[in-house]
Amino acid sequence: LQPAIYAILRQSTGQGVSNYHHRSRTAAGDAQTQRCSTAAIAMVFYLVGLGLGDERDITVRGLEAVKKCDQVWLEAYTSVLCVGVERLEAFYGREVKVASREVVESGCDEMLERSKDGNVALLVVGDVLCATTHTDIALRAKKLDVKVEVIQNASVMGAVGKCGLQLYSYGQCVSLPFWTEQWRPTSWYEKIAFNRSGNLHTLCLLDIKVKEPDYAHLAETGRTRYLPPRFMTINQAVEQLLSAEAEHGQGVCGPDARAVGLARLGQADERIVAGTLAELRSVDFGAPLHCLVLCAPTLHDIEAEYVAQFAVAA
């Protein structure tokens, strides 16, 4: 019986060793699975484009991201949406905090730090990375080892295609700032001239002023007060273009230059009117936001036919 007993002992010992190794491999696998699971739920800083219309223009992917967030901010100084924050909150099911210029430019690091412990979203009107402000935020997040996810949407850069001027025939985009008595910049004039020399259209983005400090009141009282919001109209932009033409005189944006004014793109009451700058000067485009396209000197036949339906006379 002794050899048989020894065989049984050897077999049971081998099984024990085998079971031990199996349990070790299982434990290691569970640990690996747990590590992968933890990595999969890493906190995210979302940059979410809202589009141009109202709360419903957010993409399905963007809405899913917002619903996963512990904190949601709305960037409200590079552009504005046509509906109030309460509409966003009702539709998204989350509290939405308004991020002023100070919050975005100075307090954004605190927002990014919160992303290390929970998902945070910054909502941006239009598309996300059309403004350098948001590109800078994405870079700062990466420096803080914060995972960034960009969810894009429609922007004015593409929506201007509604006027019929072909998007691949646009040159450099320019921004027209509000002039003051002491400050009348015209650096954008040379860009328009450059575009025109290449037979290219120019998209002019018009200035907005939201939550601007009243510096005169601050100097007088020591207390901060904000000025009412201001949005440049197409009419004001035309006046500045004509003044710059009178100053520089290169025939870039004179009274006979053809242009298209676009107001409230992406909204139910959007308005598009085409004509010379002299004609657009007196057109009432209504509520903001406005933008203006200066046409290339020569239009393609299809462009000319499409734009004609928006002519002032029509």
Which residues carry a binding-site annotation for S-adenosyl-L-methionine?
A: 52, 127, 155-156, 206, 265, 290
Identity at 134, one-letter amino acid code: H
Secondary structure (H, E, C), the chain: CHHHHHHHHHHHHHHHHHHHHHHHHHHHHHHHHHHHHHHHCCCEEEEEECECCCHHHCCHHHHHHHHCCCEEEEECCCCCCCCCHHHHHHHHCCCEEEECHHHHHCCHHHHHHHCCCCCEEEEECECCCCCHHHHHHHHHHHHCCCEEEEECCCCHHHHHHHHCCCHHHECCCEEECCCCCCCCCCCHHHHHHHHHHCCCEEEEEECEECCCECHHHHHHHCCCCECCCEECCHHHHHHHHHHHHHHHCCCCCCCCCEEEEEECCCCCCCEEEEEEHHHHCCCCCCCCCEEEEECCCCCCHHHHHHHHCCECCC
Return d(Cα 277, Cα 204) in angstroms, integer: 13
Report helix angle 85-92 to 60-67, nearest 10.
Answer: 80
Are the beta carbons of 200 and 294 closer than 8 angstroms? no
Return d(Cα 214, Cα 313) in angstroms, integer: 42
Annotated binding-site residue numbers: 52, 127, 155-156, 206, 265, 290
Are the beta carbons of 281 and 253 closer than 8 angstroms? no
